[in-house]
A and B are shown apart, each in its own frame.
Chain A
């Protein structure tokens, strides 16, 4: 059974700090890893990673995948209160049209 594990479960930091969120996976016939941000309602897409070592970047957020060690990290620099959310990662595999989600990391930014 495919499994995705995120750590930490929750994190509280002050505005301006840098945070690193972790996602490890055990996915048979792995295809890609995705990151989502969930505020009050529906998750919104952040990144899709398919290749090891290639950083994806969007503003203050960046993410990288290590397919040898089976993990990904999501970095947020110069955090703002608007970054407060649950961050979800999910794995996909070839031949199976579904995503396996982790339990999420709840990030709280204190002004």
Chain B
């Protein structure tokens, strides 16, 4: 009964370091998304994927890369972390947008010093 699982849940990085956030879903969903949430800014879409092997840019893609090599996994990479990337990151998935409901992971809190 896992749903959407994100790892790690917390991470502290120094400026310039790289890291990857992993999102895994076990619901066989086609669509997967990475959002960031900052105080007063709501949820902003970073990148998304409409199926295995596909990715697309969202509102705030700069400084991030993604890959969807397997249907169940969606990876978010930071090649050279900056303090502006300090945020809470949420992964989400759904079968199709017109079903409405996005299933969210519990979030990953990233701090860049």
Residue of A nearest to B96 (CB): A97
Residue of A nearest to B100 (CB): A48
Residues in A with CB closer than 8 Å to B106 are 41-42
**Residue among B35, B96, B97, B104 with max Cβ neighbours from chain A (10 Å):** B97
Number of A-B contacts (CB under 8 A): 57
Known A97-B97, A98-B48, A98-B58: A42·B104 in contact at CB below 8 Å: yes
Q: Provide the main secondary structure of the chain A interface.
A: strand
Residues in A with CB closer than 8 Å to B43 are 43, 88, 90, 101
Chain B 83-113 interface 0/1 with A at a Cβ cutoff of 8 Å (1 = within): 0000000100000111011101111000000
Select one of A31, A43, A88 contacting B97, CB under 8 A: A31
Q: Is A108 an interface residue (CB 8 A)?
A: no
Q: Least Cβ distance of B91 to chain A in Å?
A: 9
Q: Least Cβ distance of B33 to chain A in Å?
A: 7
Q: Is B31 an interface residue (CB 8 A)?
A: yes
Q: 9 A–B contact pairs at CB < 8 A?
A: A34-B100, A42-B90, A43-B43, A45-B101, A88-B43, A97-B50, A97-B97, A101-B43, A101-B44
